[in-house]
Structure 1
């Protein structure tokens, strides 16, 4: 007997649909299929399969390679020997492979199916003509069993649309019972998602909201995606709006049009309809305020993206909104309390090594004789998942000597993918905030907060506000009274300064010992009389 886990491993389809085409194909079934596809459910339908005298190996395989079988029992279902043979195979698969079977009694009484009575029974008797007793007995037994499975009776529903929607939601829940392996390699992510779900479960409001906050590259989007995949089957409608800050860039003086476009995108994805037009800002609330929906707003970086869509009045009772951002101030402005904001945690040292090894070696531990090198690269990445992934992928397949040769480059310069991701947060800062960031990256990381304030008190950098802004945007953090910055952000800051000019003396800071030494050598005689006022030194 095959186990349910073995079946799920070989499944090609989400759902197998057994039906009598003449009864339902152009009407009810077409709406079912449309709803399934809109929710990402992959159905197998034997419309184009050549029908012979019996269910062939290809169809038997399709039934067994489907995670759920839906038997759509209509008035003339039993008039087809093909349907009855199909049903026998489905019930056999239910018994042997523990396949989930869902029944729909469409304009037919379940008792007529069980006992082969009424018009259903008459159709069955005609089909039984000239059949062997063994075949007839197998059909009767299959009909008796399938009639005993609790399912959907169309007579109990005022609207077929409601029946179909409930069926699709039910199927999504059933499919979610099979563990997803999409995030199997994301070390430690499940523990973090469990903590987020606990935060949500403690909220008593009709619409639950949680913010996921942390620096670029730490895994906020991944965690939100795992959480989304786990809870989305509970919702009638759901959508994951990715990279909002990249897709909806604000243009001065055109906020209204941007908000309309944002609402159109949101509604199009929630209802899986193209070309939805929103003509006024009340359009989305009108369509959503009586719906239970799940919305993920990924990578939010501006208040306008939240002031409309994160209004709880937009959504129906039981809805949930998940927001990821690098800017904690936005979450506070939204009114979220501390127990509604999840601070994304860095991986532990052991988890960081496992992440690196997955990308470098395809396993959670280093290859023989690579352990010391793997630990060194892990430290260079500062336990940042993005850095671990990029560095691990870069080193994959290299020999030990090639690793050693690559280390100086990894120490001295940032990979372009890492830099472009980290720099997004830097680019939105004001000029004074950027200057303060560079001061900390080049000078003051690891200094006491009071010491930094004291040194820069006579500058025009507005240090108190600037430090708060950098902390909100996850560019620095304060720990035990010290200003700390991630090592990759420090490296980025120093590289920004280096690119200010090819001539070191024209840069804001000198950070490399060789450049400082050269500067002194070239200016020994003039040093005490003519130091450029724009130059600072790091020793």
Structure 2
């Protein structure tokens, strides 16, 4: 008994977020999905959604709520970034679950076998954060049989198809969505003002920044922190800058999903971002097929699965910041000469080069 208490005290919760707005209600939903009352089954659960929407934050929050109900636990953060060394990730997983026990792993296949051998009779909680390919899942959590009864394995990813391919049941998949207006405003104000009452900013400026972020927690946090202790002139200047080009940090995070696409999927995404957002799926598919794209239907499906677009009431929609990311990719093809870019959607740019250059025209 003393040993068990000592082990539990050695396990510490994770730092979740400076201002965990909107997290508690989602944690309650996740607890129901995890079904902790079921002691015999091993469940694999997936959290998916666009970049910057708060998947990692939510995963940390649920980890803190339930990890003491398991014999061992591990939270592997940023798996995608560290997947060039899967052996080290396997070692870290085992070390965390087994509370510091050091095991020598010489290759991925040996590490997979060791995870199975050491954890197959142990009730564990394992969270693999930001996974993006099957190789990572095969090396770290290939199947339920690797873990003891009552274990819970949670994945966070931008790609819902990765979860489906790993046989995660649809009713064990949870889409993390952008914040509603009230929570978005609350999160932004906490970062932008942090209780500071000396600087007064008009509600119109606050609303404009919150509207720009469209509920994306990453954008609300980054923009709010960058405007902390700044006056109205600087707020207006920031909005003017954002109207011309996206915030680099936010843009880079969102662009990770684009970088993971096949070449043909990238072209389809850029056309939707520049020309087709909000139009009917059937119309977009027909136009792109006429433009010579092969596999448009599966390409659009892949974009949905990568959380870059969504299909709503027969139309293809896209978060405004993801659309800006796509447009910025095209602008960066040739920043100073629109005529050398692959796509034109601004009327002024079109008129400027119409007389002298040939461009690809898309009848929308």
Who is 2:324 aligned against? Answer: 491
Aligned partners of 1:282 and 1:295: how far apart in 2?
A: 17
Who is 2:96 aligned against? Answer: 269
Aligned partners of 2:300 and 2:65: how far apart in 1?
A: 37
Question: How many angstroms does 1:202 deviate by?
Answer: 7.2
Q: 2:51 aligned to 196, 216, 222, which one?
A: 216
Q: 2:344 aligned to 510, 519, 539, which one?
A: 510
SS of residue matched to 2:246: coil
1:222 to 1:431, Cα distance in 2 relative to 1, 3 A: same
SS of residue matched to 1:167: helix
Q: 2:82 aligned to 240, 244, 247, which one?
A: 247
Say yes or no: does 1:450 pair with 2:288: no
Structure 1 residues 296-335: aligned runs within 5 Å:
296-308=127-139, 309-335=141-167
Say yes or no: does 1:198 pair with 2:24: no
Say yes or no: does 1:284 pair with 2:115: yes
Q: What CA deviation, in whole Å up to 9, does each residue of 1:20-76 have, x standing for no partner? A: xxxxxxxxxxxxxxxxxxxxxxxxxxxxxxxxxxxxxxxxxxxxxxxxxxxxxxxxx
Question: How many angstroms does 1:411 deviate by?
Answer: 1.8
Question: How many angstroms does 1:366 deviate by?
Answer: 12
Question: How many angstroms does 1:367 deviate by?
Answer: 6.5
Contact 1:169/1:235, CA 8 A, preserved across alignment: no
Question: How many angstroms does 1:235 deviate by?
Answer: 1.6
Contact 1:289/1:314, CA 8 A, preserved across alignment: yes
Say yes or no: does 1:462 pair with 2:300: no
Structure number with the bigger relative contact order (C-alpha 8 A, sep ≥ 6) is 2
Q: What CA deviation, in whole Å up to 9, does each residue of 1:419-456 have, x standing for no partner? A: 11111111111110110110011011111101101111
Say yes or no: does 1:168 pair with 2:6: yes
Contact 2:16/2:60, CA 8 A, preserved across alignment: no
Aligned partners of 2:150 and 2:263: how far apart in 1?
A: 43
Question: How many angstroms does 1:418 deviate by?
Answer: 0.5
Aligned partners of 2:196 and 2:180: how far apart in 1?
A: 14
Contact 2:16/2:57, CA 8 A, preserved across alignment: no
Q: What CA deviation, in whole Å up to 9, does each residue of 1:353-404 have, x standing for no partner? A: 1111111111499974521111111111121111111111111111112211
1:360 to 1:510, Cα distance in 2 relative to 1, 3 A: same
Q: What CA deviation, in whole Å up to 9, does each residue of 1:242-280 have, x standing for no partner? A: 00000113xxxxxxxx55444223212322437532242
Say yes or no: does 1:399 pair with 2:231: yes
Structure 1 residues 419-434: aligned runs within 5 Å:
419-434=251-266
Who is 1:410 aligned against? Answer: 242
What are structure 1's unaligned runs of at least 5 residues? Answer: 1-151, 153-162, 250-257
Who is 2:211 aligned against? Answer: 379
Considering only aligned residues, what root-mean-square deviation do their CA atoms show, in Å?
Answer: 2.5
Who is 2:358 aligned against? Answer: 532
1:212 to 1:366, Cα distance in 2 relative to 1, 3 A: farther
Q: What CA deviation, in whole Å up to 9, does each residue of 1:95-154 have, x standing for no partner? A: xxxxxxxxxxxxxxxxxxxxxxxxxxxxxxxxxxxxxxxxxxxxxxxxxxxxxxxxx5xx
Contact 2:56/2:129, CA 8 A, preserved across alignment: yes
Question: How many angstroms does 1:337 deviate by?
Answer: 1.8
What are structure 2's unaligned runs of at least 5 residues? Answer: none
SS of residue matched to 2:289: coil
SS of residue matched to 1:187: coil
Aligned partners of 1:538 and 1:274: how far apart in 2?
A: 63
Q: What CA deviation, in whole Å up to 9, does each residue of 1:222-251 have, x standing for no partner? A: 0000000111111221110000000113xx
Contact 1:497/1:507, CA 8 A, preserved across alignment: yes
Question: How many angstroms does 1:182 deviate by?
Answer: 5.1
Structure whose alpha-carbon radius of gyration is higher: 1
Aligned partners of 2:193 and 2:90: how far apart in 1?
A: 44
Who is 2:19 aligned against? Answer: 185
1:201 to 1:275, Cα distance in 2 relative to 1, 3 A: closer
1:365 to 1:430, Cα distance in 2 relative to 1, 3 A: farther
Contact 1:355/1:388, CA 8 A, preserved across alignment: yes
Who is 1:19 aligned against? Answer: none
Aligned partners of 2:177 and 2:78: how far apart in 1?
A: 20
Aligned partners of 2:103 and 2:202: how far apart in 1?
A: 55
